[in-house]
Copies of this chain bind each other. A is one copy, B any other.
Amino acid sequence: MKRAAGARSPRARATRARLKLRPPADHARAIGIFDSGIGGLTVVRAVRKLLPNENLIYLGDTGRYPYGTKSADVVRRYSFENTEFLIEKHVKMLVVACNTSSSLALEDLQERYAVPVIGVIEPGVQAAVQATRNRKVGVIATEGTIRSGEYTRGLRRLRSDLEIYTRACPLFVPLAEEGWVDNQVAHLAAQAYLGSMAQSGIDTLILGCTHYPLLRAVIRDIVGDGVRLIDSGEVTAAVVREMLTQRGILRRGGTGAGSFFVTDAPERFMKVGSRFLGGPVDAVQIER
C-alpha cells in the first residue's frame, strides 16, 4: 500500500486526520542551524534578535567538537552528517554556523541539498568589503579556518586590491567557554594575538569564529575604536532574512521556538551555552 507523504505510520496518519493537520507550509518550517559545538549559539542569538517569529532547530556536535584542529575530509564528513539530521526535520533553510565547516564543506552541501544553505564566511566577507575604507582588512579565526584560506579567497574575489592580515587565535575559544572574557588573561592573550594586527593599519576586522564575539570588549581594547568589528552572527542573520524574504518564506507572525540538540554532554552545553545565547538554553542529547 502506498502511503501519502507525511503519513509514515497508520498511527501518525490517524493522528493527522483527527487533528486535520497538514504538513507545515514552507514559511512555518524551521530554520536549521548546526555548529561544531556551543559557539553557533551566538548566531542563534543574532537570528532570534532579527527574526523573532522564526522557529529554529540547532544541532551542536559537542561529541566531536572542536572542528578547528581537524582535517578538511573529516570536517566535511561531520558536516554532512549534521546536515542530514536537520534535513530530516524538514527545515526550510540551513545555516552552517561553524566557520570551519563553512570554509571546508559549504559548496558540497549546497550542491547536494535543495534547501538554501548559507555559511558564516560569505556574509562576513561581504560586510567587510562594504565596511573598509582603506582596503586593509584583518581576519581572526581558528587554525583550521585560517589554514583553509577561505576568507582570503572570498575577500579577494570581491575586491582584488585588498591588503589582508590573518591570525589564528587558539586561546580565544577556551577563554570564551571559561567565561574569561574580561580579565587580564584575556587581555594579554588578545595583546599577544592582535598586537601586530593593531599596528597594521586595518580599519576592519572579521571575527571569523563564533566564539569571538564574547571577547569583543578585549579585542576592541587592543585594536582601538577606529576598527570596525564584523560579527559573523549579526551579518549572517541579515542574509538569512534577505533569503527568506526573496523566497517568500519568511514567517511574519507568532513567537519563534527553539529546539537544541547536542551529540554529547548536554549539561555542559546548557551551562556554558547560556553565556553564548544570552539566556537559558535547554538541550537534548541525540545518540549516534
Contacts and interface: CB of A to CB of B under 8 A. Distances in A.
A265 B69 contact: yes
B265 A70 contact: yes
Contact of A188 (B70, B188, B265, B268): B188
Contacts of A143: 268
A185 interface: yes
A65 interface: yes
Q: How large is the interface on A (under 10, 10 to 19, 20 to 34, 35 or more residues)?
A: 20 to 34
Interface string A128-143: 0000000000000001
Contacts of A173: 174
Given A70-B63, A184-B188, A174 B177 contact: no
A199 B193 CA distance: 32
A71 interface: yes
A170 interface: yes
Interface string A143-187: 100000000000000000000000000110111011010011100
Interface in A58-105: 62-65, 69-71, 74
A231 interface: no
Given A185-B188, A189-B185, A192-B183, A71 B265 contact: yes
Nearest to A143: B268
A54 interface: no
This chain: copies in complex: 2
Given A185-B185, A189-B185, A264 B71 contact: yes
A285 to B, nearest CB: 8
Contacts of A183: 192
Interface string A198-215: 000000000000000000
Contact of A70 (B70, B170, B264): B264
A171 B174 contact: yes
A192 to B, nearest CB: 6
Interface of A: 62-65, 69-71, 74, 143, 170-171, 173-175, 177-178, 180, 183-185, 188-189, 192, 264-265, 268
Per CB-CB distance, the 10 closest pairs between chain A and chain B, nearest first, are A185-B188, A71-B265, A185-B189, A71-B264, A170-B174, A171-B174, A70-B264, A74-B264, A174-B174, A184-B188
